[in-house]
Amino acid sequence: MCETRLFLVREIHMKMSAAKVKMRGKKMRNQPSSVQYVESGTQNGGGGDEGPSSIHPSTKRQTNTHQRGGWVRGHQKDGGGYSREMPNYITAGAFARARAEEVSTMLKAVTKTTGSCHVFGALPKHMRRRAMSHNTKRLPCRLREVANRMRERSLQAGPKKKKEQAKRKSRKARRRHGNLLLEFNRRQRKNIWLETHIWHAKRFHMVKKWGYCLGNKPTYKCYRSCHRAMSGHCLLQDLSYYCCIELRGEEEKLLASLSQLTGKETGPTFAAALCLSGRRQGSVVVYRAGQYPTQPLGPVTFLWRPRSQELTNRQLWIWAHPTIKQDLLLELQMVCQCCDPVVPPVVTPAEVFPTLQLEPKPEKTSDAKQITETKRKRKCKDASGPPAKKILGDGTRSPSTPVTWNSSSNRIVISDLTMEIVRYRLIGPQSFSVLAETMEAATVCNEINISKPSHLWWPEQCKSESKMNLHQQQTHVFHILKGIFSTGELPSGTVLGLTVDDPRLTLPTKKVKALPCVRPAQEMDEKRRELMLQGVPELCCQSDLWEQSVRSNVADNKTSEQELNRMRNEVLVPGSRLSPTPPQGRVPILLVQQPGKQVGNEMSSWGAGWDLLLPKGWGMAFWVPLVYRGVRIGGLNMSLKHSQNKGAPHFPHDYPDCPAGVRFQEEQEAELLAKFKRRPPAKRTNYIKHGCLAPFCCPWQQLSEECELITTEGEEERRGECQSTTEADTVMEEMTSYGEIAETKPLSRVVVLRNRKSLRLLSGWCRATTSKGQKSCRVGELPPLDRSAMTVFLTAHRMSLVWVRLSVLCKGKPELHAMVCVPTAEDLNLLKKKCGSSGPQEPPHRDHFKSSVRRRKKEPKKAAQSSWCSDNIQGKESVFSTEPNPTTSVVLNSSSSDIILGLWPDPLPSITSNCSRVTLGWVTQGDFSLSAGCGEALGFVSVTALLKTLFNQPMEHRGVLLLRNPTSLHYRFAKINIEV
């Protein structure tokens, strides 16, 4: 038995790993020396050479050549190299002493109790009972004395002062309306919540962006269904996070101030005739004051209030993305000279809760009656104060923060209306059909309500005959628009003002899909045709939504859900309209038509729809009825896909020359880099071998600088000696390394070309085609693309980027940050011979940093840095000579600690000539387009490199470029389109 025990102990020990040796050493530090293991096997602590572990030399393990000794885990071949012979003898005395020490150590460990241990530790788990802690007589006799002593010591020490913990309310108390309201208001102090936040939080993945908590994408699969809704029915989005800035003042002074922020070359400005009349909504890119065409802030949409005899000043709403709100507000204050903030008035409880003053207070009859009427106790300190009120608007802003600024010189007033107006966007051809079934024009109050004095706004409106005539005209236009089949048939930006009844009064019992009017009335044809050609008359664009007093009155006197439920219970036919309409159930709205796709010659007006503007507090009252009409709900990701299918840049993703676009690119790069680092090194893409210098960002500035210096050097060389080359070989020969470019960097900033005249000219030189490139589009008479025309164009637009759309000619799906490259003469010949050719291949590159990264892991940090510097100096020329397009002038100054396996360290080498094909730009949006039926990419290319490429390409292949994803070595042929 003893021999078997020794053999098993020896075998177990030899199979343990080195990590387990340390762990076992910690566990065995309190054991007697007789049971300690000695790796050599020659000595043990059981009594010298006569100890129980003294094993015969024949029992030593026969170590293999590939093993270094120690314990090995797992089964070993042929018994693991152990001898199957037993030891010849053991000493009984030494063995007995070792076992006695082992037993005494075990008993000592079991019976020992520390200060933090209880007597229950001496009992097995099945004998431990909670009742024993209160009654020591339930303990075994041998432990009662110890337990009594511990109890006496605890009584002498006195009771411990425990930290008072707040008692958690029961779920029933937490679900009460008052407590829910307090919790709802508390959680809005950090991030702004939209009025549809609770609805989205139950169905969407929420993200925190730009100070808001917004829905990104639904939790269910709906990508294709949302695209079908945008193409055939209706998609609904909540755009209330867009910020609204209001300007009031004289028209001439407003236009003079705003003219400093725009440029006429980019298109219609704030002074466009149709927009200035209030009939159309306009859009424009805003720049810093007097800095056009550099330093843009971003795109905004604006809406003028129609002229009226009652109003002497004009009113303008500017809608901007929240990322540019502060910059835009500062620029507006500077150009309008509105630097005097208006201090908000001190808010009293009577002003905060105006609805409480309208209801008569109940008289106190007796104490018993007072107790029965109280449903629950109020825990607030001031029980006599008003009840909590739901926060509507920006809950993160302090009440003392000014939101209005005026000017004493020109009498212009600027107001921040952020979260004061709810904005919903309906995308799709049947958007107006959804609105027509959801809303009904407001009914006129009866004579009894008109004769009585009222604090509500609509009964006062009904007393004016002119306003009622205007309401009837707007209602008539609203009914005519029901017969229009598609939203895109109307003029872009059409505005219609209207007053509607509470849509909750006509809420259906179940979801129904809104359909267009199949049989329109014949007498409406002429009026409908007039609306389609000229738009809504200027008089019908008026709306009471422009008035701050009306918006406040409508928000404060909204009918509660409790009252509506009571009205539903009294209806004889369930699901029918609730009548009569309450006096406070009228809401002023504004309908603004969104044009959809306006550029290019295909898919005209795709993605058109309507924007619905509502007063604050009525968000959910309109949201749920719209959902019940069969619309699809989209989040932030569908806004990006909507812009991608329209071929329009999306803010801030596709505005690299704006501060918001630069910040977005930095955040996106950090996010993609962190995701890349989370993957194991063996599972990452080696972008160095793929020849991709910047897989997570687009270095636009470096691209523009390289192309600018290449052009300058090319012109100087052309003046010195006249040489001619053909096609893309000219571009390839002129591309130089980044080391020479870094010495003379220009100080200008990159800008995006937005001059419409120049864009039309560039689009004609690209020979604009349809999405797949089969049919050429008609273009007007353009000057030929010769050297003089190219020189004039580049003189005006140096260091510029141009927004392009690339359609893949064959199979392929472009991805984010894909490279746009120039095809060589061999590539164009391959495309000419075989139209369905998928494209050439990029030869694999060599990773020069892989050995340095591995050396850094094995050697100390200082040794790794010194070896890296020596290798960098000695082997620089030989290393880079093996590249397909060598970059011998690259100077590697980064330390090995900054290198990430598979990524180029900073500074980057020459971007344009790093690969076998010259790089023109990158893709910012790329995917398979369900609308076009092929892979489409949107991005920017350098104007200088593009013109040089078009000039050297033959006419039959002009505008054909190459696309290559960062994770692939395969190039795809694509046709470039510049749509204006």
Give the pLDDT confidence of 907-941 residue by residue, as tens digits.
888 888 888 999 999 999 999 988 888 899 999 99
Least confident of 96-100, 227-231, 481-485: 481-485
Residue-level pLDDT at 583: 84
Residue-level pLDDT at 327: 93
- Asked if residue 652 is part of any domain, the answer here is no
Q: How far apart, in whole angstroms, are the C-alpha atoms of residue 904 and residue 754?
A: 33
Residue-level pLDDT at 14: 53
Q: How far is CA 460 from CA 135, 415, 451, 454, 545, in A?
A: 80, 27, 10, 7, 15
pLDDT digits (tens, 9 = 90+) for 374-395: 444 444 444 445 566 788 888 7
pLDDT, average across residues 844-858: 78
- Asked if residue 398 is part of any domain, the answer here is yes
Q: pLDDT confidence of 246, banded at 50, 70, 90?
A: very high
- Does 588 share its domain with 456? yes
Residue-level pLDDT at 284: 95
Q: How far apart, in whole angstroms, are the C-alpha atoms of residue 30 and residue 106?
A: 10
- Does 316 share its domain with 465? no
Asked if 705 contacts 878 with a C-beta cutoff of 8 angstroms, the reply is: no
For 745-749, the CB contacts below 8 A with 24+ separation are: 745/705, 746/705, 746/708, 746/709, 746/799, 748/798, 748/799, 749/294, 749/295, 749/657, 749/701, 749/799
Asked if 737 contacts 888 with a C-beta cutoff of 8 angstroms, the reply is: yes
pLDDT, average across residues 889-904: 62
Is pLDDT of 60 > 60? no
Residue-level pLDDT at 22: 73
More confident: 159 or 421: 421
Residues 6+ apart with CB under 8 A from 550: 457, 544, 588, 615
- Does 440 share its domain with 299? no
pLDDT, average across residues 826-847: 85
More confident: 740 or 959: 959
Residue-level pLDDT at 547: 92
- Asked if residue 741 is part of any domain, the answer here is no
Residues 6+ apart with CB under 8 A from 95: 2, 46, 52
pLDDT, average across residues 563-577: 86
Helices of type H across 249-302: 251-258, 273-276
- Asked if residue 653 is part of any domain, the answer here is no
pLDDT digits (tens, 9 = 90+) for 485-534: 888 888 999 999 999 999 999 998 888 898 886 555 555 677 888 888 88
- Does 283 share its domain with 407? yes
Q: pLDDT confidence of 445, banded at 50, 70, 90?
A: confident
Is pLDDT of 145 > 80? yes
Asked if 393 contacts 241 with a C-beta cutoff of 8 angstroms, the reply is: no
More confident: 281 or 400: 281
- Does 765 share its domain with 684? yes
Is pLDDT of 947 > 80? yes
Least confident of 101-110, 234-243, 699-708: 101-110
Domains in the chain, number: 6
CATH at 780: 2.40.30.110
pLDDT digits (tens, 9 = 90+) for 582-593: 888 899 999 999
- Does 880 share its domain with 951? no
Residue-level pLDDT at 59: 40
- Does 465 share its domain with 482? yes
Q: How far is CA 746 from CA 294, 662, 738, 799, 908, in A?
A: 15, 20, 14, 10, 17
pLDDT, average across residues 357-369: 40
| Burial environment of residue 876 by CB neighbours within 10 A (0 to 12, 13 to 18, 19 or more) | middle
Q: pLDDT confidence of 747, banded at 50, 70, 90?
A: very low
What's 264's DSSP letter?
A: G
- Does 361 share its domain with 450? no
Residue-level pLDDT at 719: 61
pLDDT digits (tens, 9 = 90+) for 777-801: 555 567 888 888 888 898 888 889 9
pLDDT digits (tens, 9 = 90+) for 99-130: 898 898 888 877 765 555 677 777 887 887 77
Residue-level pLDDT at 289: 93
pLDDT digits (tens, 9 = 90+) for 5-32: 555 555 555 555 566 777 777 666 655 5
Residues 6+ apart with CB under 8 A from 675: none
pLDDT digits (tens, 9 = 90+) for 534-558: 889 999 999 999 999 999 999 999 9
- Does 518 share its domain with 624? yes
Q: pLDDT confidence of 885, banded at 50, 70, 90?
A: very low
- Does 636 share its domain with 693? no
- Does 440 share its domain with 354? no
Residue-level pLDDT at 123: 81
Residue-level pLDDT at 7: 55
More confident: 738 or 462: 462
How large a percentage of the chain has pLDDT more than 70?
75
Residue-level pLDDT at 520: 52
Residues 6+ apart with CB under 8 A from 294: 287, 657, 749, 751
Containing structural domain, residue 150: 125-157
More confident: 616 or 9: 616
Q: pLDDT confidence of 132, banded at 50, 70, 90?
A: confident
Is pLDDT of 749 > 60? yes
- Asked if residue 631 is part of any domain, the answer here is yes
Residue-level pLDDT at 386: 56
Is pLDDT of 901 > 60? yes
Q: How far apart, in whole angstroms, are the C-alpha atoms of residue 641 and residue 926?
A: 10
- Asked if residue 679 is part of any domain, the answer here is yes
Asked if 772 contacts 809 with a C-beta cutoff of 8 angstroms, the reply is: yes
- Asked if residue 231 is part of any domain, the answer here is no
pLDDT digits (tens, 9 = 90+) for 199-225: 999 999 999 999 999 999 999 998 999
Q: How far apart, in whole angstroms, are the C-alpha atoms of residue 978 and residue 733?
A: 27
Is pLDDT of 762 > 50? yes
- Asked if residue 370 is part of any domain, the answer here is yes
Is pLDDT of 638 > 70? yes
- Does 385 share its domain with 326? yes
